[in-house]
A and B are shown apart, each in its own frame.
Chain A
Amino acid sequence: MKTYDDLAGDGGSNVIEQVVSQREKLRKRLDPIKYKISVMSGKGGVGKSSVTANMAACLASLGHKVGILDADLNGPSIGKLLNVPHSEKLQISPEGVQPAIGALGIKVMSMDMLLPNPDSPVMWNEGKDATAVWISMMESQALRELLTDTIWGELDYLLIDMPPGSDRIDNVRDLIPELAGVVEITIPSQISQHIVSKSITKSSQLGVSIIGLVENMATYVCPHCNEEGKLFEGEDVEKLSKDKKIPLLGSIPFDTRVSRQSGSGKLFFEEHSDSVTGQAIRQVVDNILKFIQNKSN
């Protein structure tokens, strides 16, 4: 009787060829992008998306071509942060889907851009019958399509704004094995550092490079006198970076203007790059660029 290897194909489905073809399409799309960086937090509510958007603004202001993939499928906020109107029509052609152009020419693709209303949640056809396994599977496929079918063009940096938690890093690592690394965002609170430390451990164990740690909302800057004060009682984030043997890329003070939608539709960094917080964002970006440069040499 014939064995598995004696049978040439799989009977007509060509599953392996289909998977190879998917990979080739993805490669073709991602190869013109020099560096892909994942921005993670482990814990929600630490300002990851705001930091991502402002880091992108800083990179763009330095003359780099930048894109952001909003991988937070169920809580997308990048479009809003970059002032992409929800009503903007999707431009779909056989070549792919055009990303939106946000502040400073930053290219954006987000699940939010696919949904009919600003308050539409991501729901699949299965509705209430969808199991957790099914939803996870659909989200993996959605992430692949968002990466593969978006016409990113040539970019210097693609920042991937991850959802809170560390479960999607497996996906991203599979889809982008050349990932330059991960930037982990935390706030000084003990609980955030506890969870972020797990995320750091997971990335390390998966063999994903960790660019470094960013302490967000490190202090509070008084808008009147520019004095800094503590915002959270917690352990020193520097200790976490030392314990995990990863660099502390910088500490970003809290500034109420970061989350405030400016009337001009501009990002915080565009308008306040000289502020204490703006300078801290610049320092984080400089350290990321140093890491990339060292890695490339």
Chain B
Amino acid sequence: MKFLCIPCDEQMVTQADGIMPKEKESIALKFKCNKCGHSIAMLTNKFETEFVNKLGVEAGGPSEMANTPFAMMGSTLAQGKEELKKAAPAEGDFEWTQEAKDRIQKVPFFVRGMAKKTVLSFAKERGIKVIDGALMDEVRDKVGM
């Protein structure tokens, strides 16, 4: 799927930051025309989301998840051995509360890396070290679709 800015006749590019889709249900993707700066959003329903997820790829390019063994199972199994859960990519200096961890895991896999990046950028900007549900709500209010 490609997006074209009609007035500029230019391909629109995926915005890897600044998304926080509705958990479980929707993929929200932003595309921007680098010529005129116009942005659009693509929003999917639950069935479209499931279809895209089946590819096992990530929007905005592969994240560190792509090089983590059993990444999808480790992050998506409701119950998994401790070492499986620990193998998930590290979050740098940030600590995620259990609620925040649970919520980010519910973001569709296709855009989870981008949503995570958005939350981390938001936290970094504000010098916040602990990511919790309230922060995620704040991010949603600001950039959510």
Residues of chain A at the chain B interface (Cβ within 8 Å): 1-2, 4, 7-15, 18-19, 21-22, 89-90, 92-97, 113-117, 120, 122-127, 129, 131, 133-134, 137-138, 140-142, 144-146, 149
Proximity bits, B31-58, A CB within 8 Å = 1, else 0? 1000000000000001100100111111
Q: What are 30 A-to-B residue pairs whose CB atoms are below 8 Å?
A: A1-B9, A2-B9, A4-B2, A7-B4, A10-B2, A11-B11, A12-B14, A13-B57, A19-B57, A21-B66, A22-B57, A90-B84, A96-B69, A97-B69, A113-B81, A114-B70, A114-B77, A123-B78, A124-B76, A126-B24, A133-B50, A137-B53, A138-B76, A142-B72, A144-B56, A145-B70, A145-B71, A145-B72, A146-B70, A149-B70
* A125-B105 contact, Cβ under 8 Å, with A18-B57, A141-B72: yes
* A13-B84 contact, Cβ under 8 Å, with A124-B78, A145-B71: no
What are the 8 closest A-B residue pairs judged by CB atoms, nearest first?
A12-B14, A149-B69, A18-B57, A123-B78, A92-B87, A7-B11, A137-B54, A11-B14
* A114-B80 contact, Cβ under 8 Å, with A14-B61, A94-B67: yes
Is the beta-carbon distance between B11 and A2 smaller than 8 angstroms? yes
Is the beta-carbon distance between A125 and B69 smaller than 8 angstroms? no
Q: Report the bound CA distance from A22 to B54 in whole Å.
A: 13
Number of inter-chain CB pairs below 8 Å: 129
Q: Is B123 an interface residue (CB 8 A)?
A: no
Q: Report the bound CA distance from A2 to B14 in whole Å.
A: 18
Residues of chain B at the chain A interface (Cβ within 8 Å): 1-4, 6, 9, 11-14, 16, 24, 31, 46-47, 50, 53-62, 66-67, 69-73, 76-84, 87, 102, 105-106
Q: How far is the CB of B19 from chain A (nearest CB, A)?
A: 12
Q: Report the bound CA distance from A11 to B83 in whole Å.
A: 36
Is the beta-carbon distance between B70 and A13 smaller than 8 angstroms? no
Q: Report the bound CA distance from A117 to B77 in whole Å.
A: 13
Is the beta-carbon distance between B50 and A18 smaller than 8 angstroms? no
Q: Report the bound CA distance from A97 to B70 in whole Å.
A: 8
The B contact surface, by secondary structure, is loop
Q: Report the bound CA distance from A2 to B50 in whole Å.
A: 30
Which residues of chain B are within 8 angstroms of A144 by Cβ–Cβ distance? 56
Sample of 17 more A-B contacts, CB < 8 Å, known A2-B9, A133-B50 = A1-B6, A7-B2, A10-B2, A10-B14, A11-B11, A14-B62, A21-B62, A21-B66, A115-B81, A116-B82, A125-B102, A125-B105, A126-B106, A131-B46, A137-B50, A138-B76, A142-B73
Q: Report the bound CA distance from A97 to B3 in whole Å.
A: 39
Q: How far is the CB of A85 from chain B (nearest CB, A)?
A: 13
Which residues of chain B are within 8 angstroms of A125 by Cβ–Cβ distance? 76-78, 102, 105-106
Which residues of chain B are within 8 angstroms of A129 by Cβ–Cβ distance? 24
Which residues of chain A are within 8 angstroms of B50 by Cβ–Cβ distance? 131, 133-134, 137
Q: How far is the CB of A124 from chain B (nearest CB, A)?
A: 5
Q: How far is the CB of B139 from chain A (nearest CB, A)?
A: 19
Which of A15, A22, A90 touches B83 (beta carbons < 8 Å)? A90
Residue of A92, A122, A146 with most chain B CB atoms under a 10 A cut-off = A92
Which residues of chain A are within 8 angstroms of B2 by Cβ–Cβ distance? 4, 7, 9-11
Which residues of chain A are within 8 angstroms of B46 by Cβ–Cβ distance? 131
Closest residue of chain B to A123 (Cβ to Cβ) is B78
Which residues of chain A are within 8 angstroms of B66 by Cβ–Cβ distance? 18, 21
Is the beta-carbon distance between A12 and B56 smaller than 8 angstroms? no
Q: Report the bound CA distance from A127 to B62 in whole Å.
A: 26
Q: How far is the CB of B69 from chain A (nearest CB, A)?
A: 4
Which residues of chain A are within 8 angstroms of B56 by Cβ–Cβ distance? 22, 141, 144
Closest residue of chain B to A127 (Cβ to Cβ) is B78
Closest residue of chain A to B80 (Cβ to Cβ) is A114
Is the beta-carbon distance between B4 and A1 smaller than 8 angstroms? yes
